[in-house]
Structure 1
Amino acid sequence: MIVHVRLHTTLRKETPQGIVDRVELELESGATLADVLERLQIRPGGRSVLMAVNGDLVKADHVLNDGDQVRLVPSVSGG
């Protein structure tokens, strides 16, 4: 299945083509958002990443479907 991923701010990826904010991933049936994070080598560590699928906030164990639109946004903090 194919999912479309939009990466925001500091999660954008450096590639040979430059910095990308959108990628298409081919994943196995039953894949979750955790699989997307692993594939993109995004390790939230101590920071929080907001994850949305088709406009709904979801958790990393959310099972994806073909054609899903995924958005990954790092939480912002400061003072």
Structure 2
Amino acid sequence: MRRHDFEPGKLVIGLVLLGGCAAYLAAAAGRWHFPAYVLLPALGISLCVSGMVSALAVSVRRRRELGAEPGDREPGRSG
């Protein structure tokens, strides 16, 4: 099987969605009460956070592919 790239943005959004599902299940079971209008903004914020995490992961991956040193400002230039 081919190895896949690790995509942390998908991990973040998946964990948030699982948390939302767990909150709804806990509310349905009567174990926890929360205002339902809180989950929609939380979903929007988590989408933004996962987008930033994905952008950061792509930039790190590109920098690593170019072989740049951590202290370099411009990839491919020496000195």
Is TM-score (shorter-chain normalized) higher than 0.5? no
Q: Which has the higher contact order (CA 8 A, sep 6+)?
A: 1
Q: TM-score, normalised by structure 2?
A: 0.20
Higher strand share: 1
Q: TM-score, normalised by structure 1?
A: 0.20
Bigger Rg over Cα: 2
